[in-house]
Chain A
Amino acid sequence: MLELLNAWFVAPFDYGFMRRAVVGGLALSLAAPPLGVFLVLRGMSLIGDAMAHAILPGVAIGFLLAGFSLPVMSIGGVMFGLMVALLAGAVSKMGGQREDAAMASFFIISLAAGVMLISVGGSSVDLTHVLFGSILAVNSTALALIAGISTLIVIILAVIFRALVVECLDPLFLRGQSRRNGWVHSVFLGLLVLNLTAGFQTLGTLMAVGLMMLPATAARFWSKRLEGLMGIAVVLAMTASTGGLLLSFHLDIPSGPSIILLAGAGYFFSALFGRYHSLAARLRRKTAPLSAETSM
């Protein structure tokens, strides 16, 4: 028994690339889910997806300039992602279009541009690598970058947390406080882009958003409190990323999809058996008598 446990859960980490991958995954799992929780709460769940596509041309340009260098590709991705976010914001400010419509237009252009750039400058293997990630490529530079970005995100999130909560809850209250509070939204989008660029190495540009959204949407079935949502989402993400890596190692399947599919399994489980709004909760729900209400 002990031997089996050892073979399944400990032995894989004898390999350096597995150790780096799991540390990178855990770092991402700490930073991404809180961002996802805010996206879900603001009704912007698909914006994460859009931003994930938006970084692709930047990553591709970085790849064409410097090959598979995570720092260069990340810088390209961040710059392009921010540019798309700003452009989408500017187009929607021009009037006529809502921000999500502008974002939808930009992200699909970005995806096409990114795929075009990589296909012209590299091979289909490179394209697969950028789109779907590769665990083997996480070297110590990449790991330092992922950990650094995750740390930065958590710190900035802590600083803007109250403003962000008020902006989600009651934007008018925030605007009433100060004319300068428009930055909260921009900083938040910036964090999103940063997080996606950190994630694409292990998960790929298209799936990096999965570690952000799935734990957050699954957590909605377990908690009605903000702290609870974030805590549960982080735990789910950590479990999914570690478990997914192990699965990918033992079953010889690609790492990104197995992490995201494991998180997806967590989502389905939550939707079926979670505490609130799940199928099981719906079945067992009975109207509480008045006496129960007063004791709350």
Chain B
Amino acid sequence: MPLLPDVLVGHQTAGICGAAAFITLGPGGLGKRVDAMSTRELPPLQLENLHLAQGHRTVLEHVDGDIKPGAITALIGANGAGKSTLIQAIMGELRPVSGKVTCRVPSERRAWLPQQLALDLTFPMSVEELVMTGSWPSHGALKGYCAAHYRKGRDIMARLGISHLAHRPLGELSGGQRQRALIGRTLMQEAELLLLDEPFANVDSDTVDILIRILRQMADDGTTIIVVLHDMDHLQRLADEVLMLNGGHARWMAPAALTQQQAPAQAVPFTLGGHHAGIA
């Protein structure tokens, strides 16, 4: 475990600079807040010898990796390979059996868009209000918005091409429009860690183009993005790194390596499964 000393350095300098807080998740370390001297030098997310299980069934073993700031990591693998399990562990929803997830992004800067949305579409709320809720975690309970906040919200909606939907109730949106609004919320949140589970499923191609552009901009601004993908085309356009889950193990690869492997794949079927035929 070569990464551990770095974390310890973070511990020892606690309280001296207090540049930012990070949270250690793992057995015995849940929710512990520590100040790091400088989080910029440390990867925002570290996975160390992670062993994850759902119930008594081991899903993933020996998952290691540093996720670099501002990188877009594609998470690929067949259905049931453990992509959602890994995301749950990263979000702190699932306790690892052993190993550690170190997330240096404060919780109000983390965003997670699961594939199965918990969003209540009958709730009386407009697109603009949904986007504005992104600022609530850092805004506190009672503070009102000023004009600058509304301007920021309007800018975000303009970037996503949903300005004309600002006052539309959530229930009347199409799948693509809803996805844009939800990405708008993460932009409002100024998310530093963004986890997306198949964000392009059931979404029109215009929305895909806009979202890919926006996600790239977010990454350039320093947001670390982990995205579950099934489509080879989306992967090539978006991913900087690829983490492939297969048979309970994780393998890091470059997107280019995957495409090279893919090229003669007609002969050797390289099945990753999924809803789209892109990778399969």
Contacts A176-B111, A294-B164 given; indicate if A226 touches B118 (C-beta within 8 A).
Answer: no
Whether A160 contacts B141 by the Cβ 8 Å rule is: yes
- Which of the residues A41, A172, A178 comes within 8 Å of B123, measured between beta carbons? A41
CB distance from B138 to the nearest CB of A (A): 9
CB distance from A42 to the nearest CB of B (A): 8
Whether B123 contacts A159 by the Cβ 8 Å rule is: no
Whether A225 contacts B92 by the Cβ 8 Å rule is: no
Contacts of B139 in A (CB 8 A): 162
Output the nearest chain B residue to A166 by Cβ-Cβ distance.
B133
Whether A161 contacts B141 by the Cβ 8 Å rule is: yes
Does A104 sit at the interface, judged by CB under 8 A? Answer: no
Whether B118 contacts A171 by the Cβ 8 Å rule is: yes
CB distance from A203 to the nearest CB of B (A): 27
Contact string against B for A residues 168-210, beta-carbon threshold 8 Å, 1 for contact and 0 otherwise? 1111110111110000000000000000000000000000000
Complex-state Cα separation, A57 to B136, whole angstroms: 40
Does B108 sit at the interface, judged by CB under 8 A? Answer: yes
Contacts of B117 in A (CB 8 A): 170, 172
Complex-state Cα separation, A177 to B136, whole angstroms: 10
Does B29 sit at the interface, judged by CB under 8 A? Answer: no
Contacts of A228 in B (CB 8 A): 124
Does B15 sit at the interface, judged by CB under 8 A? Answer: no
Q: Please count how many residues in chain A sit with their CB below 8 Å of the partner chain's CB atoms.
A: 28
Complex-state Cα separation, A226 to B170, whole angstroms: 13
Does B3 sit at the interface, judged by CB under 8 A? Answer: no
Contacts of A178 in B (CB 8 A): 107-108, 137
Contacts A176-B107, A176-B112, A179-B92 given; indicate if A158 touches B124 (C-beta within 8 A).
Answer: no
CB distance from B170 to the nearest CB of A (A): 8
Give 13 A-B pairs besides A162-B141, A166-B136, A169-B130 with Cβ atoms closer than 8 angstroms: A41-B124, A161-B141, A162-B139, A169-B119, A169-B120, A169-B123, A171-B118, A172-B114, A173-B185, A179-B30, A229-B124, A294-B164, A296-B168
Chain B residues with CB under 8 Å of chain A are 30-31, 91-93, 107-108, 110-112, 114, 117-120, 122-126, 130, 133, 136-137, 139, 141-142, 164, 167-169, 185
Chain A residues with CB under 8 Å of chain B are 41, 158-163, 165-166, 168-173, 175-179, 223-226, 228-229, 294, 296
**A and B contact pairs by CB, cutoff 8 A, 24 listed:** A41-B124, A161-B141, A162-B133, A165-B133, A166-B136, A168-B120, A168-B123, A169-B119, A169-B120, A170-B117, A170-B118, A170-B120, A172-B112, A173-B111, A173-B112, A173-B185, A176-B91, A176-B107, A176-B110, A177-B110, A178-B107, A178-B108, A179-B30, A226-B125
